[in-house]
Amino acid sequence: MENVFFKDIETVSKMLRNQEITPVELTKQLLERIQSVDSVLNAYITLMSEEALTQAAVLEKELKEGNIRGPLHGVPIAIKDIFETKGSVTTSGSKIFEKFVSHHDAEIVTLLKKAGAIIIGKTNLHEFAMGATTENPHYGPSRNPWNIMKIPGGSSGGSAVAVAAGMAFGAVGTDTGGSIRLPAALCGVVGLKPTYDLISTAGCTPLSKSLDHIGPMTRTVADSRTLLRVCADAEKLKQVDLSTRLGDLKGIKVAVCKEYFFEGMDEEIAMHIHQALAKLESLGAEIIEVDIVGISEAIEAQKMIFKAEAYAFHESMFLDKPHLYGEDVQFRLQAGKGVLASEYIQAKQYQQAFQQHIRFKMIEEHIDVFFSPTNVIPPFDIGSVGPEQSVNNIFRLGKTPLGNLLGLPILTIPCGFTSERLPIGFQIMGRVYEEGKVLAIGEVYEQSENWVAYLEKNEVFQVEKTI
């Protein structure tokens, strides 16, 4: 069973359909692995053992009867503990919600179950998804499996750790400023932030309504495509062509904006990022350099919208019980408290203008995707940054927040390691509802680097040496 934990969803699904393993056996073995490994990594807040085994038994019976719900039938999937699950606690990583039990499933949970997924557990996160490190003061920090002293990124850190360390075959996270893409890059997995509103946020604790996205975190690009097909809104999915496949990148135009996106990069990371860009070119892509007008104003607009909308949701709870929030989240909410209505409105107007500018530019200049690093520095030590400094961690770690302001689909893909064996990722951003093309481009790169084969070798994580 050891190697099964690091297989992709497609392979595991075939094994289940061919009865090489049953859903119940797979779930039991995975739960045993989680109970062993997660004592160190702390990827999960709630392990849903009983519910998962009950689901597995039902799915196993259906499988024997030839009734296959979908591509995830019998496959254990993790969800960030920010999605409501009927009859079980949804903490959102906070003490305020530590006893909150929903009477219904979030929309995305309903869709996962409908497709046959087994919800194995609810993963750790930065409190209320309001940070980039997953150093949770209430439930403990999640640890990067490549070096357990390092952060895994956030806020969907537990989801990235679960996938990277063979504790789930895929996971679902949220992304408001990079919270899927940063932890995916820092843990060496694939992360997809789809077009804004392609996946419903119903039943998900909000952070910033204008910027919140939900998306998959997986080992391969193909697995992200599978999860997206399952989780997306059925009507909106009609605008997305997920059948797109590319043999090479001839005819694909990749734009690079050096201002902001390539600034502040660690030297080792810069080397790998430029190698990845050169690989795309060798695969046939045309690389062009472009300028983007208004980046600094866009970043300020993103910050203003985030602060105002986060505070609006938390205001009554924060005024009533501020001491229940972690220190870093208190700093963030205090920052949002003073935002004027006029400042928020101006930021929203700028968001709309900036979106139109970038979308028109992509069409006018025939740009298929923008390319940039995901993380610009390696993950730093857990506990090395104080709560008053943590507000800027997402801007320090990577170049992800503008993607949320734009609402465009962005895929992050592993592209190497630092000399200390810490993962690096790059991201490609496509046009509205062009997830199919973005995934196809990512898949061509992924296969050229034979990343899947590398993961299947299961290079020994630091955590494996400690248990």
The tens digit of pLDDT for each residue in 403-450 reads 999 999 999 999 999 999 999 999 999 999 999 999 999 999 999 986
Here the tokens at position 147 are: 């070096």
Here the tokens at position 145 are: 């499996």
Catalytic residue among 94, 155, 208, 210: 155
* Res 395: pLDDT: 78
Share of the chain above pLDDT 70, in %: 95
**Which residue carries 């094994």 as its tokens?**
15
Catalytic residue among 179, 208, 372, 390: 179
SS3 68: coil
448 belongs to the catalytic site: no
- Report angle CA 62, 66, 68 to the nearest 5 degrees: 65
Q: What number of helices (H) and strands (E) belong to the chain?
A: 16, 13
Here the tokens at position 198 are: 């392609």
* The pTM of the whole model exceeds 0.85: yes
**Which residue carries 């997306």 as its tokens?**
232
β partners of residue 427: 372, 412
Read off the pLDDT of each residue in 105-116 and give the average, rounded to a whole number. 98
pLDDT range class, residue 99, cuts 50, 70, 90 = very high
SS3 116: coil
β partners of residue 89: 101
Read off the pLDDT of each residue in 156-163 and give the average, rounded to a whole number. 98
Here the tokens at position 222 are: 């193909």
Phi-psi region of 385 (alpha: psi -120 to 50; beta: other; left: phi over 0): beta
Pairing verdict, β 410-417 and 423-429: antiparallel
Averaged pLDDT of the chain: 94
Is the pLDDT assigned to residue 98 strictly greater than 80?
yes
200 belongs to the catalytic site: no
Here the tokens at position 400 are: 């992800």
Catalytic residue among 7, 13, 80, 307: 80
Read off the pLDDT of each residue in 259-268 and give the average, rounded to a whole number. 95
Here the tokens at position 13 are: 């699904």
Closest CA to 154 of 257, 260, 81: 81
253 belongs to the catalytic site: no
Burial classification of residue 143, based on how many CB atoms lie within 10 Å of its CB (0-12 exposed, 13-18 middle, 19 or more buried): buried
The tens digit of pLDDT for each residue in 361-403 reads 999 999 999 999 999 999 999 999 877 666 667 778 899 999 9
